[in-house]
Amino acid sequence: MAIHWYPGHMHKAQKQIREILPKVDLLIEVLDARIPFSSENPMIAELRGDKPCIKVLSKSDLADPEMTEAWQRHLEQENNVKTLAITTEDPAHTKQLLRLCRNMFPSRDKTFSTINTLIVGIPNVGKSTLINTLAGRPIAKTGNEPAVTKAQQRINLEDGIVLFDTPGILWPKVENANSSYRLAASGAIRDTAMEYDDVAFFIAPYLLKAYPDLLKERFELKSLPATEVELLEVLGARRGCLKGGGRVDLNKASEILINDLRAGMLGRISLESPDMIIRELAQLEADKQAKQEADRLRKERFKAGKREGTRIKEVDPKNKGKAPKSGKNKPAKPPFPKKPKR
């Protein structure tokens, strides 16, 4: 699945991040706890270098708690990285982020030393809600849709911490196709840029395998459907998503499944694990190398054919466009009849 949604303000935000990042002390990257890898902007990882970073796993109340802990252990293996899982239901816990920021710089006196931080994240990841919680008042506009924040802000927080906010941004091309589906399922892109049934046909097999009991409980199923099509048909029939002739409207059934997933109605679900991502990246690299090798061989064949064509032409340039001479096999011309003597 290709994401075709990259508003103009995102390009501007990327430029702002590139300009301000060298001037800040600490990066706060907000990730969706359900998709920590897929919601991580590779451009940020490239620009950050060794700069200290706190990866905040938002919406952790919607994610599988065991998987969230696994992701925290995995992410903190990186140098200068700490993590904090948060939820909007526990503002006091969220404010621990301020203390964690200070702990990243133990030698600085909070009375005299300011810590400049930059907060980044993809659209609809909960960044604005986090800012309002830290500030203790509504500062950033919030909404349950992507791309609400469209301008950079400077916010003074407690303990001498200054927070620079930027609009949520995606990146022009998502290399891992599976990440595109997960971003769509989580609500990181506008629904107008995706097809519900396309996303549901990707998500449903994973849910059937990883969270069968949650599906059975949510949709009151006595037995588990064998395929994603059967799941959507059962779901659609139970929710009245029917067309003429009693056929199930798979698009409407897909919309219900995705909206239930986003709202946490299916239960606490994570859509990726560290081991899963390691396998997908290895496969992506193998596919990339295979394509490079195929391209190399194709170019070699093309060059070899071109050289052979040049060699043939160089035999006798005057015969361009003419059939080659056949040597001994060339038929002899018939002799002209002699004129009779007079």
Residue 244: the pLDDT is 87
Supply 260's token pair.
């239930």
- With tokens 């069968």, the residue in question is 212
Cβ within 8 Å of residue 144, ≥6 positions away = 124, 187
Question: In what helix (H) or strand (E) does residue 29 lie, and over which residues does it extend?
Answer: strand 26-32
Instruction: Answer yes or no: are the C-beta atoms of 1 and 199 closer than 8 Å.
Output: yes
Q: How many helices (H) and strands (E) does the chain have?
A: 12, 6
In angstroms, the CA 265 to CA 258 distance is 10
Residue 275: the pLDDT is 97
Q: Strand order in 53-58's β-sheet?
A: 81-85, 53-58, 26-32, 115-121, 161-165, 153-156
Domain ranges of the chain: 8-165, 195-263
Residue 5: the pLDDT is 47
Query: Quick one: which of 155, 73, 147 has its CA closest to 119?
Result: 155
CATH code linked to domain 8-165: 3.40.50.300
Name 54's bridge partners.
28, 82
Name 82's bridge partners.
54
- Other CB atoms within a 10 A radius of the CB of residue 80 amount to 14
Query: Quick one: which of 142, 140, 143 has its CA closest to 153?
Result: 140
Query: Quick one: which of 39, 48, 6 has its CA closest to 126?
Result: 39
Instruction: Answer yes or no: are the C-beta atoms of 75 and 53 closer than 8 Å.
Output: no
| DSSP assignment letter at 216 | H
The fold of the 195-263 domain, in CATH, is: Conserved Hypothetical Protein Ylqf; Chain: A; domain 2 (1.10.1580)
Instruction: Answer yes or no: are the C-beta atoms of 100 and 54 closer than 8 Å.
Output: yes
> Can you spell out the DSSP letters for 293-314?
HHHHHHHHHHHHHHHHHHHHHH
Q: Is the dihedral of CA 123, 124, 130, 133 positive or negative?
A: positive
**Range list of β-strands (E), 66-185:** 81-85, 115-121, 153-156, 161-165
Q: What are phi and psi of 27, to 5 degrees?
A: -105, 130
Question: In what helix (H) or strand (E) does residue 55 lie, and over which residues does it extend?
Answer: strand 53-58
CA distances from 56 to 31, 49, 85, 267 (A): 6, 18, 6, 21
In angstroms, the CA 114 to CA 259 distance is 42
CB burial class (10 A; 0-12, 13-18, 19+) of residue 260? middle
Residue 147: the pLDDT is 44
Q: What type of residue is 293?
A: E
In angstroms, the CA 12 to CA 28 distance is 19
Residue 148: the pLDDT is 47
Residue 322: the pLDDT is 57
In angstroms, the CA 224 to CA 85 distance is 32
pLDDT in tens, the chain (342 residues): 555 545 555 667 677 788 888 889 999 999 999 999 999 988 888 888 889 999 999 999 999 999 999 999 999 999 999 999 999 889 999 999 999 999 998 887 766 688 999 999 888 898 989 999 998 888 765 544 444 444 567 888 888 899 998 777 766 677 888 999 999 999 988 887 789 999 999 999 999 999 999 999 999 999 999 999 999 999 999 999 999 888 999 999 999 999 999 999 999 999 999 999 999 999 999 999 999 999 999 998 888 876 666 665 555 555 555 555 555 555 555 554 555 554
- C-alpha distance across the termini of the chain, in Å: 94
